[in-house]
Amino acid sequence: MQLSAWNNIVGLSILIPIYNYNVTTLVQVLNDQLNHSKRQGEIVLLDDGSSLSFVSNNEILQNGSTIRFITSGVNEGRIIARQKLAAEARYENLLFLDCDSEVIKKDFLSAYFNLIDKDTMLASGGRVYVNEEPKECDLKLHWKYGSKRESKASAFRSNNFLIKKDLFSSLETKIPFSGYGHEDSWWGIQFEEAGVKCEYINNPTLHAGLEKASLFIEKSENAVGNLLVLEKMISEQTLSRHIKIYKWYRRIKNSGLAGAYLFFENCFHKFFYKNLISCNPNLFYFDCYRLAILLKKGKNN
């Protein structure tokens, strides 16, 4: 059957971009729920340049019917990976999941099929983190930030969302930045400006892949730098409304206090970093640290 014919069937394409992660458990749970639902659906896995060991572990999951596996060969990033997955999807309803997600509800897919029956355009199920703080000190920063900030935020999150294929295809995806950070912000703002309301439902996945503090900080530094790219595409007012750290960046820069703030932060920079990789990271220090990075990168903007 040609792809255009599949698109006329009401079903669900579950799309999972993978980078250096074993998705066996995730796929097995999703496939079991899909089979139990008796609904039309598929699971499409796209490996985005993982090492061969992960490719080997994940490609054996394809079963010739409901589970497909494709590979890009090189790491092209989350946005391009999702574009490719959407192009491969047989159905008009797309469910994007991060590869380090863990399904924690037995009716996870049923909740999304209920929305499909209502012809929902866009919905976000959210994410949660384990209640118990990790014992490893270098995982505490990611866990604390995720638990305190990401789990409670009502902003659009791309780790677990349902969207119509036509709507996803209409998004501006040619973002001139790379690496980690603020793809969610860019898409969320586009939805808002297009007048598309996101339905937030209590259907979270568990974020299973905590990163070591040094890597999490490095990715966060890249993420705040990406805000300066978005600044050229989106008004200051809109970015400030959506992203708190950018709001403080504009306030400090517009008031002429950037130099004073950077002097202050430089005096405490090593102290902040040492705290962030410790067993008791302080999120206020993390904000101060990231704000300084943003001000340094934004000096010439």
Percent of the chain clearing pLDDT 90 (strictly above): 71
Q: Which is it for the CA torsion 181, 220, 58, 103, positive or negative?
A: negative
pLDDT band at 187 (very low <50, low <70, confident <90, very high): confident
pLDDT at 174: 64
pLDDT band at 89 (very low <50, low <70, confident <90, very high): very high
pTM value? Answer: 0.90
Residue 5 pLDDT exceeds 90: no
pLDDT at 165: 96
Residue 177 pLDDT exceeds 70: no
Nearest alpha carbon to residue 170 among 93, 83, 230:
83
Residue 183 pLDDT exceeds 70: yes
pLDDT band at 282 (very low <50, low <70, confident <90, very high): very high
pLDDT at 179: 62
Calpha distance 291→295 (Å, rounded): 6
Residue 4 pLDDT exceeds 90: no
CATH superfamily of 3-211: Spore Coat Polysaccharide Biosynthesis Protein SpsA; Chain A (3.90.550.10)
pLDDT at 151: 79
Question: Phi and psi of 61, rounded to 5°?
Answer: -75, -20
Task: Please give the DSSP secondary-structure letter assigned to residue 9.
Answer: S
pLDDT band at 190 (very low <50, low <70, confident <90, very high): confident
The chain-wide mean pLDDT, for the chain, equals 90
Contacts of residue 104, defined as CB under 8 A and 6 or more positions apart, other chains included, come to 128, 204, 205, 206
pLDDT band at 178 (very low <50, low <70, confident <90, very high): low
Domain boundaries, the chain: 3-211, 230-297
pLDDT band at 175 (very low <50, low <70, confident <90, very high): low
Residue 153 pLDDT exceeds 90: no
Q: Which is it for the CA torsion 272, 276, 281, 285, positive or negative?
A: positive
Q: Collapse the DSSP code of 3 into the 3-class scheme (helix H, G, I; strand E, B; otherwise coil) and give the result.
A: helix
